Amino acid sequence: MTEKSVAADDINQRIARRVTALRAERGLSLEALAARSGVSRSTISLIERGETSATAVVLDRLAAGLGLALAALFEVERAAPSPLMRHSEQPVWRDPASGYLRRNVSPPDHPSALRIVEVEFPAGERVVLEGARPDAVLEQQVWLLEGKIELRHGGQTWQLTPGDCLAMRLDGPLEYRNPTDRPARYAVLIANESAPIGRKSSAPGHSRQARTAARSAKAIQ
């Protein structure tokens, strides 16, 4: 077996474990998740057994059915929680349909609603993702680092060049397109505004109580 096929098998097994665990956490049957996501029961079963390389479009529909960002399906389980995620630890996955490469940058076990993903998008490719999550409110920003891309969301189209950052709420389909003959690279910052309190950042000043206390202290001064 080649190194490439070993890596593909490993990520497929990781996705299989994640989808199975997340579905079980929510008490969803295969039929229920199929109804919520629009992905057939048989396809979900194949994914959970690690017997298929699902595309970004299919996995995003599953994530939507689970009320999560797509990045959640690639998160790794670590022996001990840590606020540091080494580059060598960051899970990498390639979409078998478009060839785009995504890297989960953020520590998966840090109590924060924010996640960062790095994407390398091939020349001439196009991907349309579900966007909306019935059970979650996701805010997203796309920061272009290299190349050019077009994003279409909410009936509008934006052309991004290096350094541009586009913010949006994921409440509908989102189309990514690279109209050039060169690859593009960008960072995606996603915040789950409906995440439980335990998933939000515990850093000083980030909680509602801390912000209220700070305003009160300023008023007294």
Average pLDDT (77-106) is: 95
How far is CA 207 from each of CA 9, 63, 77, 201, rounded to the nearest angstrom?
41, 27, 26, 8
Query: What is the three-state SS of 169-213?
Result: ECCCCEEEECCCCCCEEEEEEEEECCCCHHHCCCCCCCCHHHHHH
pLDDT at 210: 36
Which distant-in-sequence residues (6+ apart) come within 8 Å of 64 by Cβ? 36, 37, 130, 131, 132, 133, 134
| Stretch (H or E) spanning 118 | strand 114-121
Say how far apart CA 63 and CA 54 lie, in whole Å: 12
Question: Cα dist. 188→39, 55, 102, 145, 202 in Å?
Answer: 25, 19, 10, 11, 22
Provide the percentage of residues in the chain whose pLDDT is more than 90. Answer: 75
The model's confidence at residue 172, banded by pLDDT at 50, 70 and 90, is very high
How far is residue 189 from each of residues 37, 43, 83, 114, 220, measured CA to CA in Å?
23, 29, 17, 7, 36
HSE of 204, CA atoms in CB hemisphere, 13 A: 1
Q: Which of 54, 197, 182, 63 is nearest to 117 (CA)?
A: 63
What local confidence, expressed as pLDDT, does residue 134 receive?
Answer: 81
pLDDT at site 66: 96
pTM, entire model: 0.82
Per-residue confidence band for 220, with pLDDT thresholds at 50, 70 and 90:
very low
**In the prediction, which pLDDT does 195 show?**
62
Residues 6+ apart with CB under 8 A from 3: none
Q: What is the mean pLDDT of the chain?
A: 86
- Is the Cβ–Cβ distance between 127 and 60 less than 8 Å? no
Most confident of 10-14, 57-61, 127-131, 202-206: 57-61
Residue 159: beta bridge partners?
150
- Rounded CA-CA distance 165/162 in Å is 9
Mean pLDDT of 42-50: 97
Q: Say if residues 137 and 169 touch (Cβ distance below 8 Å).
A: yes
Taking the C-alpha atoms of residue 148 and residue 30, their distance in angstroms, rounded to an integer, is 39
- Predicted local confidence at residue 7, as pLDDT: 52
Q: In order of start, what are the domains of the chain with their CATH numbers?
A: 3-199 (2.60.120.10)
